[in-house]
Amino acid sequence: MTLLCVPLVSKTVEQMVADMAAAKACGADLVEFRLDHLSNFDPRRDLHLLLGDRLLPALVTYSYFIYEFLPNWEGGEYEGDDKQRFQALCLAMELGAEYVDVELKVAEDFVRLISEKKPENFKLIISSHNYQSTPSSEELSSLVARIQAAGADIVKIATTAVDIVDVARMFQVIVHCQVPMIGLVMGEKGLISRLLCPKYGGYLTFGTLGAGKESAPGQPTISDLLNVYNIRQIGTDTKVFGIIGKPVGHSKSPILHNAAFKSAGLNAVYVSFLVDVLADFLNAYSSADFAGFSCTIPHKEAAVRCCDEVDPIAKSIGAVNTIVKRPTDGKLIGYNTDYVGAISAIEDGIRGSKGVGKDETVSPLAGKVFVVIGAGGAGKALAYGAKEKGAKVVIANRTYERARELANLIGGHALTLAELENFHPEDGMILANTTSIGMQPNVDETPLRKQALGAYAVVFDAVYTPKVTRLLREAEESGATVVGGLEMFIRQAMGQFELFTNLAAPENLFREIVKKHI
Ligand code: NAP
């Protein structure tokens, strides 16, 4: 079992003791006392306070301070000499700390110092930190061997993710390590090294008490580890799903899909992948364990090229937002669930406002002018879907050329954004914004000024943060029926869950979660 460790980085002993209680209440297995963060640290007085009557097992670390980005910075804040550092760490061991962490470069001296007095249940962690990059597999393996030879009970290597593919090398090294190993890749691109530790047998992973309480870049909160990623349920056989994007940290998809996996009793986890080059990512994580992916900005179009087979609708749209790895042969199959998600949300919005039954056979979009602002992944899905439903599709885009290409592809008409301002061939048109204009933090922006909205009977916005955008607010004030992007978000996610699992999506659960978290 991978242990969950909360790093304690307060400046006072009193706060560290209080944080230890909070860590226990959250469900941590142990805490890490970062002695180098304490102001006016007095080893004899403070270690008694920290370690006497402690609520959780303790890892004690007292790292060097060497200015950030210098080659041998080990991530700590201590500026004194090794003698004092070693005395404090020795005392921590004598007072019953379960673990002490020392850096590889001083390990030999420290091992010699404690060799006669090492308690039976005490474990020495010998660590190496790299704040620039993640070395090659060969270099990582030889580092493991050196740490092991130095006398480590537990090997710890923390590197930095320049690219998410770096983490794959760390996973392989952990799997092959002969002694318990903590292998973490720091930074946002390394997040999966922290979440998937139990799958690869990592000895522990760090979870913080909250934002601003990290001891290293990229640490998630312990609450997210336990309650979003259900980390206690992750094991060797757990299937990995996730959202591929850049940026991706803001995505609520992990909350939604992990809750759905849990409610269906599936041995699966859903994470976020901050990916630079889609093909490199898919190549590095090609094992069957990485079973399916959601794709978001900016990878939906590249995903069409990276898949082995693409569903005909996704191919026509030119954008894939869902990739499933076929279990029988490992081939990547691409789909698009944005299209059904958005179009069905708009149709139901119109039917709801008219009080017409949902089983009506002719789409309420048929014969209507349907204006799509944007020609990216979402724009393509909306334009294709509206055309399928018999609408007269018009595409307006900042880059006019892309609007024209899309209009040619689906059989529609293209406009510049300026032309859209006075576009009014008929009343009762439908408008769909598929750009990120109006999305947090730019909530005062809108893709079309209010005066132009009078021509539209229905206005949809793919943006869902905020739930009610300026565009939707002004459209409603102008008398239009409005449909928010959240409805599309829920429906495209339900489509993805069904493709990932072959099970019906738990719609009520999805709606409850969206209500609570978005
Ligand atoms: P994308 O492929 O990157 O396309 C972005 C589109 O927005 C392009 O047409 C781009 O125009 C246009 N654009 C971006 N910034 C603009 C600006 N400042 N002014 C004018 N036009 C601008 O992205 P996407 O995947 O289609 O996503 C677009 C939006 O839809 C995002 O906000 C996303 O969150 C949202 N979305 C929502 C859902 C949902 O479930 N509700 C699903 C998918 C997407 P150029 O061609 O000129 O660059």
308 as an active site residue: the answer is: no
Q: Given a cut of 60, is residue 65 above it in pLDDT?
A: no
Q: Given a cut of 90, is residue 381 above it in pLDDT?
A: yes
Distance between Cα 225 and ligand 1 center (Å): 30
Residue 466 corresponds to which tokens in the numbers above? 């905020």
Residue 154 corresponds to which tokens in the numbers above? 């537990």
Q: Given a cut of 60, is residue 75 above it in pLDDT?
A: no
Q: Which helix (H) or strand (E) holds 156?
A: strand 154-160
Q: In one letter, which amino acid is 177?
A: C
Quote the CA–CA distance of 257 and 272 in Å, as a whole number: 11
Q: In one letter, which amino acid is 513?
A: I
Helix and strand numbers (H, E) in the chain are 20, 20
CA dihedral sign of residues 200, 204, 209, 211: negative
- C-alpha distance from residue 446 to each of 401, 413, 454, 468, 470 (Å): 22, 22, 15, 12, 6
Which position among 46, 101, 123, 156 bears the catalytic label? 156
Predicted pLDDT of residue 16: 98
Residue 171 · residue 288 · CB < 8 Å: no
Selection from 187, 195, 200, 122 nearest residue 158 by Cα = 187
pLDDT tens column, 145-194: 999 999 999 999 999 999 999 999 999 999 999 999 999 999 999 999 99
Quote the CA–CA distance of 73 and 37 in Å, as a whole number: 15
Task: Give the 3-state secondary structure of 313-340.
Answer: HHHHHCCCCEEEECCCCCCEEEECCHHH
pLDDT tens column, 445-498: 999 999 999 999 999 999 999 999 999 999 999 999 999 999 999 999 999 999
Our answer on whether the CB atom of 440 is closer than 6 Å to any ligand 1 atom is no
- C-alpha distance from residue 96 to each of 89, 119, 128 (Å): 11, 8, 24
CA angle 418, 470, 454 (to 5 degrees): 55
Beta-carbon contacts of 442 under 8 Å, excluding residues fewer than 6 positions away, are: none
pLDDT tens column, 447-460: 999 999 999 999 99
Selection from 388, 406, 386 nearest residue 397 by Cα = 406
Confidence of residue 71 (pLDDT cuts 50, 70, 90): very low
Predicted pLDDT of residue 353: 75
How deeply is 515 buried, as exposed, middle or buried, from its count of CB atoms within 10 A (0-12, 13-18, 19+)? exposed
- C-alpha distance from residue 397 to each of 124, 400, 432, 434, 473 (Å): 60, 5, 12, 10, 22
Distance between Cα 433 and ligand 1 center (Å): 8
Q: Given a cut of 50, is residue 69 above it in pLDDT?
A: no
**Neighbour-count burial for 80-114, b at 16+ CB within 10 Å, e otherwise:** eebeebbebbbbbbebebbbbbbbbebbeebbebb
CA angle 290, 159, 152 (to 5 degrees): 105
User: How many other C-beta atoms can be found within 10 angstroms of the C-beta atom of residue 45?
Assistant: 11
CA 193 from centre of chain: 12
Confidence of residue 248 (pLDDT cuts 50, 70, 90): very high
Q: What percent of the residues of the chain are helix, what percent strand, and what percent coil, each to the nearest 5? A: 40, 20, 40
Confidence of residue 361 (pLDDT cuts 50, 70, 90): confident
Percent of the chain with pLDDT over 70: 95
Whose tokens are 């070395």? That residue is 135
Confidence of residue 63 (pLDDT cuts 50, 70, 90): confident
Q: Given a cut of 90, is residue 96 above it in pLDDT?
A: yes
Q: pTM of the entire structure?
A: 0.93
Q: Given a cut of 60, is residue 433 above it in pLDDT?
A: yes
Beta-carbon contacts of 84 under 8 Å, excluding residues fewer than 6 positions away, are: 43
Of 31-45, 54-68, 192-206, 282-296, give the lowest mean pLDDT range: 54-68
Residue 233 corresponds to which tokens in the numbers above? 């349920």
Predicted pLDDT of residue 487: 96
Residue 111 · residue 151 · CB < 8 Å: yes
Distance between Cα 338 and ligand 1 center (Å): 13
Closest ligand 1 atom to Cα of 381: 26
Mean pLDDT of the chain: 94
Beta-carbon contacts of 208 under 8 Å, excluding residues fewer than 6 positions away, are: 6, 7, 214, 215, 219, 220, 221, 222
Beta-carbon contacts of 287 under 8 Å, excluding residues fewer than 6 positions away, are: none
pLDDT tens column, 385-403: 999 999 999 999 999 999 9
Q: What is the mean pLDDT of residues 105-111?
A: 94
Distance between Cα 297 and ligand 1 center (Å): 8
Predicted pLDDT of residue 518: 86
Which position among 37, 123, 129, 257 bears the catalytic label? 129
300 as an active site residue: the answer is: yes
Strand-pair partners of 429:
456
Our answer on whether the CB atom of 488 is closer than 6 Å to any ligand 1 atom is yes
Residue of 398, 443, 472 to test ligand 1 pocket, by largest number of atoms within 8 Å of CB: 398
| Number of residues that this document lists for the chain | 518
Our answer on whether the CB atom of 374 is closer than 6 Å to any ligand 1 atom is yes
How is 208-250 classified by DSSP, letter by letter? BSSTT--SSTTPPBHHIIIIIS-GGG--TT-EEEEEEESS-TT
Q: Given a cut of 70, is residue 70 above it in pLDDT?
A: no
Confidence of residue 76 (pLDDT cuts 50, 70, 90): low
Q: Edge to edge, what strands does the sheet with 58-61 contain?
A: 181-186, 154-160, 123-129, 99-103, 58-61, 30-34, 3-8, 204-206
Distance between Cα 378 and ligand 1 center (Å): 7
